[in-house]
C-alpha cells in the first residue's frame, strides 16, 4: 500500500518525535502485558500447588486459612488434630490413603514439615505429578531430612550436611534444637510449589527433637537412645478417597466428628475461593495498566495534533501535487497505526526482557513461577485492541487535515 509506505517514511523523517511517542506506547504496553502475564501465571501457580488430594483435614478454622498453612506454609495453625482422632479417621473404609502433616519448627526462615513416607508416594502437584528426588534418598531414620530444591540452593546445602532446626517459626528464633542436629539425606527436584521451600523430616524426628520440652521450653537433655513416643497431635492431614463419590459424605463425617473439633475442605473449591478473594486486586491492577495505556494514547493524540499545524505546508504540497484528500486522511491514520504497532512490538520485547530478569527474583522472594512463553489469545486480543485504539486516535487529526482547504496550508499565518 503506497499510503502506508509513505506514512512510514513520514515517521522516519520525524523520527525523534515518533520514537518518543512509540516508546511511551511501548512502556504502557509492557505494563499491560506484564500484569496480564503475572495474573495468569499466578493463578496457574496457585491451582497447580496441590492435585490428586480429595480432602485436607485440620483443626476447625476458616477454609482458606487451613489451606494456607497446610499447603502454602503461610500463617500459623489455629490448633491440631489429636493423634487418636487421626488414626480413627484414617481407618475409615472409604479412605485410600492419608498423609500426616506436622508444622511448628523452622530453619533460617524455611518451614520444617514432619510427615511420613506416604508424603513422597501420594503428594502430587501440577497435572498429577509426583515428587521426585534430584539427589540422595528419602528419610528412613528420625534425624534424616529431605530438603526442597530452593532450600538446598539458597542455603548451599548438599547431601551429608548437618543442620539444626529452630523451635517456632520465622528468622529470629534463638531457641534451637542443637542437641539433635539433622543430616541431609536427599534433595527434591524443583516443583515450583511451596514444597521447594520446605524441609521434610519424619514425625519421629519431630517428636525426637521435642523430647524434654514442655510448653516450648527445654527442661533438660534426653538420652539419645531414649524411646521416641508417638505424636500427641499433628497439624493436619491430606486424604485420598477410594471413590470420589464418597468425598462429600466423608467430609460431613469429619465436620460432625465428636471426639475432636475438626473440619475437612476440598482443595480445588478452596483454591477457587482463595483466588476470588484476590480478584479485586487483580482487577485493580488491570484497570491501572489500562489507564496507563489510555494515557499513552491521549499523549499520542496530543503529539499528532500539535504536529498537525507544523505540517500544514507538507499536507498542502501533497494536495497541490494531486494527492487526493482521502490519501492524506489514510496517511495520518497510517502513521497512528504504525506508531501503535511499533509501540506494541517494542513493548512486547520489553515485557519478555523484564520477565527474563525478574522471574528468578519472583521465584526466590515470593515463590511465584513466571514463565516465558508465546502470548496467550487474551494477550493477543489486548495487543490488537491497542493497535486499533492507536488507529482510532489517528482519525481525529486525519479528519481535521481532510477538512482543511488547500489554500489553508499555503497561507502564511502571522
Residue 410: the pLDDT is 47
The last residue of a domain, from among 265, 287, 313: 265
Q: Tell me if 308 is assigned to some domain.
A: yes
Q: According to the model, what pLDDT value does residue 414 have?
A: 47
Residues 18 and 149 placed together within one structural domain of the fold: no
Closest C-alpha to 203, from 98, 109, 95: 98
Q: For residue 358, with 0-12 CB atoms within 10 Å meaning exposed, 13-18 middle and 19 or more buried, which class applies?
A: middle
pLDDT at 409: 47
Residue 317 · residue 413 · CB < 8 Å:
no
Q: Is residue 185 part of a domain?
A: yes
Q: Does residue 271 lie within any of the structural domains? A: no
Same structural domain, 244 and 336: no
* Domain identity same for 80 and 139: yes
| 190 and 300 inside one domain | no
pLDDT for 278 equals 72
- Same domain, residue pair 141 and 205: yes
Q: How many whole angstroms separate alpha carbon 160 and alpha carbon 371?
A: 33
Q: Is residue 385, in this structure, part of any structural domain at all?
A: yes
**Does residue 36 lie in a domain region?**
yes
Residues 115, 157, single domain; the answer is yes
Residues 6+ apart with CB under 8 A from 270: 56, 63, 64, 66, 67
d(CA 394, CA 335): 8
pLDDT at residue number 140: 93
Tens-level pLDDT at each residue, the chain (414 residues): 666 676 677 677 777 888 888 888 898 888 888 888 877 777 777 777 888 999 999 999 999 999 999 998 888 888 899 999 999 999 999 999 999 999 989 998 899 999 999 999 999 988 788 999 999 999 999 999 999 999 999 899 999 999 999 877 665 555 777 778 999 999 999 888 899 999 999 999 998 887 765 655 555 565 555 678 889 999 999 999 999 999 999 999 999 999 999 999 999 888 888 777 777 777 787 788 888 888 888 888 888 777 776 666 666 666 566 566 666 677 778 888 888 899 899 999 998 888 888 777 766 665 566 777 778 788 888 889 989 998 888 888 877 776 664 445 445 454
Q: Which of 265, 288, 307 is the last residue of a domain?
A: 265
**pLDDT number for residue 354:** 86
Instruction: Specify whether 167 is located in the same domain as 315.
Output: no
Domain range for 175 is 55-265
In a domain, 270, yes or no: no
Kindly state whether residue 324 falls inside one of the protein's structural domains: yes
Please give the radius of gyration of the chain, using alpha carbons only, rounded to the nearest integer: 31
Total domains present in the chain: 2
Q: Are residues 201 and 333 in the same domain?
A: no
Is 119 within a domain?
yes
Of 265, 297, 331, the residue that ends a domain is: 265
| Rounded-to-integer distance, Cα 395 and Cα 232, Å | 74
Q: Does one domain contain both 154 and 91?
A: yes
Query: Reduced to 3 states, what is the DSSP secondary structure of residue 207?
Result: helix
The end-to-end CA distance of the chain, in Å, is 38
Q: Are residues 249 and 295 in the same domain?
A: no
Q: What is the pLDDT of residue 152?
A: 94
Same domain, 226 and 350: no
pLDDT, tens only, 276-306: 777 777 778 778 888 888 888 888 888 877 7
C-alpha closest to that of 84 among 209, 232, 271: 232
Per-residue pLDDT reduced to its tens digit, 353-408: 888 887 777 666 655 667 777 787 888 888 899 899 988 888 888 777 766 644 45
- Is the domain of 351 the same as that of 400? yes
Q: Is the pTM of this model over 0.75?
A: no
Amino acid at each position: 500500500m503506497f499510503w502506508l509506505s509513505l506514512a512510514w517514511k513520514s515517521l522516519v523523517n520525524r523520527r525523534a518525535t515518533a520514537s518518543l511517542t512509540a516508546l511511551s506506547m511501548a512502556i504502557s504496553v509492557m505494563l499491560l502485558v506484564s500484569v496480564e502475564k503475572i495474573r495468569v501465571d499466578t493463578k496457574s501457580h496457585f491451582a497447580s500447588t496441590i492435585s490428586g488430594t480429595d480432602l485436607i483435614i485440620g483443626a476447625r478454622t476458616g477454609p482458606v486459612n487451613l489451606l494456607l498453612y497446610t499447603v502454602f506454609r503461610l500463617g500459623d495453625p489455629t490448633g491440631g488434630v489429636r493423634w487418636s482422632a487421626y488414626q480413627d479417621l484414617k481407618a475409615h473404609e472409604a479412605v485410600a490413603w492419608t498423609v500426616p502433616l506436622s508444622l511448628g519448627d523452622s530453619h533460617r526462615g524455611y518451614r520444617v514439615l514432619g510427615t511420613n513416607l506416604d508424603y513422597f508416594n501420594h503428594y502430587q502437584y501440577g497435572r498429577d505429578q509426583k515428587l521426585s528426588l534430584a539427589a540422595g534418598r528419602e528419610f528412613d531414620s528420625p534425624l534424616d531430612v529431605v530438603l526442597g530444591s530452593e532450600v538446598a540452593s539458597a542455603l548451599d546445602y548438599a547431601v551429608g550436611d548437618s543442620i539444626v532446626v529452630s523451635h517456632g517459626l520465622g528468622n529470629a528464633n534463638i531457641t534451637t534444637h542443637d542437641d539433635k542436629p539433622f543430616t541431609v539425606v536427599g534433595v527434591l527436584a524443583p516443583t515450583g510449589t511451596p514444597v521447594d521451600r520446605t524441609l521434610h523430616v519424619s514425625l519421629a524426628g519431630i517428636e525426637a527433637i521435642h523430647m524434654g520440652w514442655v510448653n516450648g521450653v527445654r527442661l533438660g537433655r534426653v538420652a539419645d537412645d531414649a524411646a521416641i513416643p508417638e505424636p500427641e497431635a499433628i497439624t493436619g492431614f491430606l486424604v485420598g478417597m477410594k471413590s470420589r463419590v464418597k468425598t462429600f459424605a466423608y467430609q460431613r463425617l469429619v465436620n460432625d466428628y465428636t471426639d475432636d473439633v475438626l473440619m475437612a475442605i476440598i482443595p480445588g473449591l478452596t483454591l477457587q475461593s482463595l483466588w476470588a478473594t484476590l480478584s479485586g486486586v487483580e482487577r485493580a491492577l488491570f484497570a491501572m495498566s489500562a489507564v496507563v495505556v489510555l494515557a499513552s494514547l491521549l499523549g499520542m493524540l496530543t503529539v499528532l495534533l500539535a504536529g498537525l499545524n507544523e505540517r500544514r505546508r507538507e499536507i498542502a504540497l501533497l494536495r497541490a501535487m494531486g494527492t487526493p484528500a482521502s490519501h492524506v486522511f489514510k496517511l495520518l491514520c497510517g502513521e497512528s497505526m504504525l506508531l501503535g504497532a511499533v509501540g506494541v512490538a517494542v513493548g512486547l520485547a520489553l515485557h519478555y526482557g523484564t520477565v527474563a530478569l525478574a522471574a528468578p527474583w519472583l521465584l526466590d522472594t515470593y515463590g511465584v513461577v513466571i514463565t516465558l512463553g508465546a502470548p496467550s489469545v487474551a494477550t493477543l486480543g489486548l495487543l490488537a485492541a491497542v493497535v486499533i485504539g492507536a488507529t482510532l486516535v489517528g482519525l481525529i487529526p486525519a479528519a481535521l487535515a481532510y477538512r482543511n482547504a488547500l489554500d489553508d496550508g499555503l497561507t502564511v499565518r502571522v
